[in-house]
């Protein structure tokens, strides 16, 4: 097949800011410091509890949108090499989360600020979960308890768990959910946000030079507002005012800048916590000593706005860690969170966002698509192949194309479009690219590439259900461009598909829409598929959409099989 680039879409940061460059590359980890130093990473791993038995692709794999929501499906695994954690001694390893999450396209505010909860409070653009600033432990009046229950002295994750973070400032809980609590420095490096990477030590550091550009969008919080890196415009409403690091609005309660000095006792929580928790300020906490040192708890920090300091003059970010401002993506202005760091890149409280959301946190995990959506991106094994500019020299042609890791490819050539010569088979992808050089004489001509096989991998959809499940198999599993055939789709009986003869909204194979759709039985659908002569080759997602039940036809039901059909 001839390889073509995907058509351009109108820019929308809510759908276009996601980092999908490495979606067809396996996620990897370093298991020990020695392996990190040596550059030896693995694509499968197990500690007996968190098991990644087959490779999973990195990060965001699917993006869908409606006028109301943006949906992402992600493995939750970073695009950079993750780990190690405590030189392999940390008890938890990451694993494919098969996450399906939606974020509101139109953020709402109503003056009520909801407390953040444990687990994902949003997602970074690499598809890794965003957790709040807590580690889940709090003072219950007599001791520290886990589970994130109601408490007025909540332990900070960065301070208390920072030793378990990898060089990218991430780790995972016992479910294998890889996440960031603070400054996602490896992601920032991938996005070009003033972070250097040392290839010898495999570590990251804040660049020493002058900051020259506004930070990019790093993620989306569940209230629909973006979170940027640490650098913004000096004046919130003036894009010509220069770039500088955004200053947190919080100060450790050590007697500096008008704060009280928690030298030995904790008897009151700060005013921001009074507002957040809706309780009196008198709330006793543990003593300040070697066991419970100052800065152990979120409430060991005061908000400067409560101490007479002016936002926009002496600090930049409100108690939610954001501000109303103009940004490159929102030149007319928007509310945005910013990552907080010190001048040397060390995370500072409240790290990503404060203890409460600024907006209404309507975003959440979902199990299925229940509305019509636009497909904005499909990656991993289903990503379309795109060909780079061929290199010609000395009569040789070098082809480089985007590929799915684990895939093997066939290269054919012709000079007349009548007779095709097989130049190579079993060309293996290296990461998310593949390469072939024709070293034979007379190699100039026309070339086509087709994926012929794909190694077993751990798909992003699965037990979380919805939008990426519901189809067990299809027949045939591949077809050539320019052909027409009947596709038989076998539905999964465990998802309780509609009864026989129920209407079908649509059947699609990638971007190809089927015709003459027939609901043969409750578990089988047939459709006539015509593959255009210029169709993109490679794995295609097969999708069947049914209307909702009588009385609610808008509650559509979607069944898919990622990479279920291959166009040759």
Residue 185 backbone dihedrals phi, psi, to 5 degrees: -70, -35
CA distance 563 to 467: 14
Q: Structurally, what CATH architecture does the domain formed by 470-567 represent?
A: Sandwich (2.60)
∠ at Cα 337 (294, 325), nearest 5°?
A: 130
Both tokens assigned to 47: 């500690």
pLDDT score of 550: 60
Neighbours of 318 (CB within 10 A): 19
Q: Which residue has the tokens 């649509």?
A: 506
Return contacts of 288-297, CB within 8 angstroms, 24+ apart.
Answer: 288/262, 288/263, 288/264, 289/264, 294/252, 294/253, 294/254, 294/262, 295/156, 295/159, 295/252, 296/155, 296/156, 296/159, 296/160, 297/139, 297/153, 297/154, 297/155, 297/156, 297/266
CA distance 232 to 221: 18
pLDDT in tens, the chain (568 residues): 333 333 344 489 999 999 999 999 999 999 999 999 999 999 999 998 899 999 999 999 999 999 999 999 999 999 999 999 999 999 999 999 999 999 999 999 988 899 998 899 999 999 999 999 999 999 999 999 987 767 899 999 999 999 999 999 999 999 999 999 999 999 999 999 999 999 999 999 999 999 999 999 999 999 999 999 999 999 999 999 999 999 999 999 999 999 999 989 999 999 999 999 999 999 999 999 999 999 999 999 999 999 999 999 999 999 999 999 999 999 999 999 999 999 999 999 999 999 999 999 999 999 888 888 888 998 888 887 888 888 888 778 899 999 999 999 999 988 888 888 898 999 999 999 999 998 876 666 888 888 888 888 998 875 333 334 678 889 998 999 999 999 999 987 766 678 787 889 889 998 899 999 999 988 899 999 999 988 888 888 888 888 766 655 555 677 888 878 888 8
Looking at the whole model, is its pTM more than 0.85? no
pLDDT score of 463: 34
Both tokens assigned to 444: 């100039």
CA distance 43 to 18: 23
Give the DSSP letter of residue 540.
E
Answer yes or no: same fold for 385-454 and 470-567.
yes
Residue 405 backbone dihedrals phi, psi, to 5 degrees: -60, 140
Q: Where do the structural domains in the chain lie, given as residue ranges?
A: 13-248+316-365, 385-454, 470-567
pLDDT score of 374: 87
Q: Class of 385-454 per CATH?
A: mainly beta
CB 557 within 8 A of CB 368: yes
Residue 217: exposed, middle, or buried by beta-carbon count in 10 A (0-12, 13-18, 19+)? buried
Q: Is 197 helix (H, G, I), strand (E, B) or coil?
A: strand
Residue 346 backbone dihedrals phi, psi, to 5 degrees: -65, 135
CA distance 254 to 324: 29
pLDDT score of 213: 97
């Amino acid at each position: 097949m001839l390889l073509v680039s995907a058509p351009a879409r109108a820019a929308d940061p809510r759908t276009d800011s996601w980092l999908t460059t490495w979606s067809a590359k396996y996620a990897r980890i370093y298991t020990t410091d020695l392996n990190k130093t040596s550059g030896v990473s693995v694509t499968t791993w197990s500690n007996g509890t968190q098991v990644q038995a087959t490779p999973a692709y990195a990060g965001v794999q699917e993006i869908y949108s409606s006028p109301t929501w943006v949906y992402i499906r992600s493995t939750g695994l970073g695009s950079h090499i993750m780990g190690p954690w405590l030189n392999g001694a940390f008890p938890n390893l990451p694993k494919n989360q098969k996450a399906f999450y939606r974020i509101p396209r139109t953020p709402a505010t109503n003056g009520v600020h909801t407390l953040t909860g444990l687990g994902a409070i949003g997602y970074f653009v690499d598809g890794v979960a965003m957790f709040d600033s807590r580690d889940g432990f709090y003072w219950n009046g007599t001791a520290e308890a886990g589970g994130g229950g109601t408490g007025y002295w909540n332990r900070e994750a960065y301070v208390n768990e920072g030793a378990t973070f990898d060089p990218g400032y991430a780790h995972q809980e016992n479910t294998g959910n890889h996440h960031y609590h603070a400054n996602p420095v490896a992601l920032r490096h991938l996005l070009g946000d003033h972070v250097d990477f040392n290839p010898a030590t495999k570590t990251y550091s804040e660049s020493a030079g002058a900051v020259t550009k506004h930070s990019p969008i790093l993620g989306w919080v569940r209230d629909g507002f973006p979170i940027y890196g640490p650098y913004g415009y000096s004046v919130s409403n003036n894009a010509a005012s220069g770039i500088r690091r955004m200053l947190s609005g919080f100060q450790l309660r050590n007697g500096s800048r008008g704060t009280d000095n928690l030298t030995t006792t904790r008897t009151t929580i700060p005013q921001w916590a009074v507002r957040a928790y809706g309780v009196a300020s008198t709330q006793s906490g543990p003593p300040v000593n070697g066991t419970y040192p100052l800065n152990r708890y979120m409430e060991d920090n005061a908000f400067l706005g409560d101490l007479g300091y002016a936002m926009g003059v002496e600090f930049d970010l409100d108690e939610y860690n954001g501000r109303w401002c103009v940004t490159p993506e929102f030149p007319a202005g928007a509310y945005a969170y910013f990552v907080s760091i010190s001048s040397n890149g060390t995370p500072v409280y409240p790290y990503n966002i404060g203890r409460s959301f600024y907006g209404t946190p309507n975003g959440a995990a979902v199990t299925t698509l229940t509305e019509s959506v636009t497909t904005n991106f499909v990656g991993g094994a289903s990503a379309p192949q795109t060909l780079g500019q061929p290199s010609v020299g000395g009569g040789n042609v070098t082809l480089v194309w985007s590929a799915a890791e684990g895939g093997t490819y066939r290269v054919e050539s012709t000079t007349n479009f009548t007779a095709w010569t097989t130049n190579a088979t079993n060309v293996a992808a290296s990461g998310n690219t593949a390469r072939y050089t024709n070293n034979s004489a007379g190699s100039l001509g026309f070339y086509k590439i087709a994926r012929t096989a794909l190694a077993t991998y751990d798909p992003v959809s699965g037990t979380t259900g919805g939008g990426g499940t519901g189809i067990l198999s299809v027949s045939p599993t591949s077809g050539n461009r320019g052909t027409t055939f009947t596709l038989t789709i076998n539905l999964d009986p465990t998802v309780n598909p509609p009864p026989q003869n129920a209407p079908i909204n649509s059947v699609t194979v990638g971007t190809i829409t089927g015709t003459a759709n027939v609901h043969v039985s409750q578990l089988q659908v047939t459709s006539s598929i015509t593959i255009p002569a210029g169709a993109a080759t490679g794995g295609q997602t097969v999708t069947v959409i049914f209307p909702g039940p009588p009385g609610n036809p808008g509650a559509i039901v979607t069944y898919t099989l990622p990479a279920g059909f291959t166009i040759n």
